[in-house]
Amino acid sequence: MKRSMEVRFLRVRFGEANARNLVLMAALSLVLAGGICLDNEEIAVLEPAKRVSVVNDVDVAVAGGGINGVFAAIAAARMGARTVLIERFESLGGVAGPGINPGGGVQMPGRSAWEEFKRGSTPYPYVWIFPEIAGLPREFALKLQDLTGPRWNSLERSNAFSYLCTKMAVDAGVSLLLSTYVCDPILEESTIRGLYVEGKSGRQAVKARVVIDATGEADVARRAKVRFLSPKESYFELDSHAPNGIGIWAYVAGINWEKYESSIQSGHSRLKFRPHQVGDLAQVQISEPESGAALTKIEPGLGGMKVQLVRPHAKVDAGNILHMSQLQAAVRIYIFEAVQEIRRSEPGCENAYLVAIAPYLGIRGGPCIEGEYTLTMDDCLSGRRFDDVIYLYGENRVLQKTCATGSCVWADVPYRVMVPKNLKGLLAVGRSASGIPDTLLRNRTAVQHMGEAAGIAAAMAAKSGTSPGSIDVKGLQRRLLDAGYYLGTDERLRQLGLR
């Protein structure tokens, strides 16, 4: 057998290794085409070097086709940057698209949220971007509203959301790499020059002047071996969804709502789902409304089932494939068996059947970059101002607390939360951006605005030949103002040199 075809296994306990062991191991590594060794008894494969074909050579590469990644890609392409968007699924839109969860954290164009608050319809204004959404997010929201109308269900809207993400990206000239996984960054010292990707065509390279990490768990930044922030159990005190905040939606059809709701209201419902233990990681449970119902009415015959990990679940590492695989499998088994039990036991559900489960677990937090600035809950509570502001953010818990005292507070989000320390050529958006707690920057309306700002900044950096951390931030802010973003009062804008 030729040496290049050989498979060898090397086992070394580093705690017991002497110089001879190490020299022998190094020598064997040089002559073998591949091998396996132990690092503190962890098996590792020695991957041989090889030439990798370049599938794209662009100005901006966006890793992740979720909500913020799509908006970043469209914004960069509209700036004239050659842009590629890389997504592991076949469809775009993240949790609001293939994730079949298009509601929550949504702010419609105009001042309807203010009007609902004044009428007493909401306990505080659902104004996540002050005073209203702008730019690309506004354009997208209006087009989505035209597609679905004022009344919609989650299945309909999620497909419309994904369609619109795809249509607008294609119309903007974004190149798409779908069913493609982002692997390692292409690094030259402390600068990212692109990405390695894997798909049906095997391992390929995407060369880029700027990379945007929209993976959700800062996968690109973490693989570049820079410092990152891991969620802590103490974050639960700041946000009851933290750390991680993992859940999923499933949809059930064939429900007789009149019989089912009557059974719930009369107290005749026979089912109470208890938490199910998943190894030693976490517990999973149907998130039941106060009525005790396991299903939420969507429209005649159709219901939604929200399943979440019991919080806090600090043992879970959202960036660990073994953790996430164990949870994905357990949650899907749990949901299917729960629907069967509902069908057997609940009045009105005799003909119920499972229509769909979202293809992946939704995550509200997870690991993020350590940015040039890390936004905190205290910053949001105090309404802190920053010279590199890109939008004004109303964090949900902050609005609940401050509006109750009669003075609602919105804080500046600084550009620097997207810029990682000690790494050039990269911006991180959405949950990958730098925030404490890990769930702080997740709001889907807000990350659309962050995505647009990142796309513009990346295009500026690529055109000027600089790193994103060195761009003209005033130039970025002026472009955001031109798009309708609110960055402060006229007096504040004069202080910032923007008037």
pLDDT digits (tens, 9 = 90+) for 360-405: 999 999 999 999 999 999 999 999 999 999 999 999 999 999 999 9
197 lies in the same domain as 83:
yes
CATH number of the domain encompassing residue 460: 3.50.50.60
Last residue of a domain, one of 336, 363, 390: 363
* Angle ∠(113,114,116) on CA atoms, nearest 5: 65
Enclosing domain of residue 95: 54-239+364-499
Q: What is the CA radius of gyration of the chain?
A: 24
173 in the same domain as 83: yes
CA torsion sign for 295, 298, 302, 305 is negative
Considering the domain architecture, whether residues 7 and 100 belong to the same structural domain is answered as: no
Are 199 and 85 within one domain? yes
- Tell me the pTM: 0.91
Bridging pattern class, strands 202-213 and 426-428: parallel
Q: Is residue 3 helix, strand or coil?
A: helix
**Shared-domain flag, residues 221 and 336:** no
The 10s digit of each residue's pLDDT in 480-497 is 999 999 999 999 999 999
Q: What is the mean pLDDT of residues 65-87?
A: 99
**Residue 161 pLDDT greater than 90, yes or no:** yes
| Structure confidence at residue 42 (pLDDT) | 75
In this structure, are 19 and 40 located in the same domain?
A: yes
- Same domain, yes or no, for 198 and 321? no
Element (H, E) at 251: strand 246-253
Q: Are 409 and 380 in contact (CB under 8 A)?
A: yes
- With CA atoms as reference, report the closest residue to 454 among 436, 435, 479: 479
Output the pLDDT for position 9: 34
CA distances from 273 to 181, 293, 336, 403 (A): 36, 10, 13, 35
Query: What does the pLDDT read at residue 274?
Result: 85
Can you give the pLDDT at residue 271?
A: 72
**205 and 295 both lie in a single domain:** no
**What is the tens place of the pLDDT at every residue in 264-280?**
888 766 677 888 999 99
- Write the CB contacts of 27 (distance below 8 Å, at least 6 apart in sequence): none
- Same structural domain for residues 41 and 74? no
Structure token pair of residue 54: 């370049």
In 111-256, which ranges are continuous DSSP H helix? 112-118, 135-148, 154-172, 219-223
Please check whether residue 334 is in contact with residue 308, taking contact to mean a CB–CB distance below 8 angstroms.
Answer: no
Preceding amide of 243 cis, omega within 30:
yes
Q: Are 72 and 61 in contact (CB under 8 A)?
A: no
Other C-beta atoms lying within 10 Å of the C-beta of residue 104: 12
Which pLDDT belongs to residue 292? 62
Q: How many separate domains does the chain show? A: 3
Between the CA atoms of 113, 119, 120 and 123, what dihedral angle is there, to the nearest 10 degrees? 20
Same domain, 150 and 229: yes
The pLDDT mean for the chain works out to 91
Domain boundary among 316, 331, 363: 363
Q: Per-residue b/e over 53-80, b at no fewer than 16 CB within 10 Å?
A: eebbebbbbbbbbbbbbbbbbbbbbbbe
- State residue 40's pLDDT score: 54
Looking at residues 216-231, what average pLDDT do you find? 97
| Strand, coil or helix: 427 | strand
> What is the mean pLDDT of the segment spanning 66-72?
98
- In this structure, the chain runs to a length of 499
User: How confident is the model over 433-467, as pLDDT tens digits?
Assistant: 999 999 999 999 999 999 999 999 999 999 999 99
What gap in Å lies between CA 24 and CA 323, rounded to an integer?
35
Of the residues 318, 344, 363, the one at which a domain ends: 363
Shared domain check, 356 and 370 = no
Q: How many CA atoms lie within 13 A of 406 on its CB side?
A: 0
Question: Are the C-beta atoms of residues 316 and 246 closer than 8 Å to each other?
Answer: yes
**Tokens 């798409």 sit at which residue?**
176
Same domain? 259 vs 314: yes
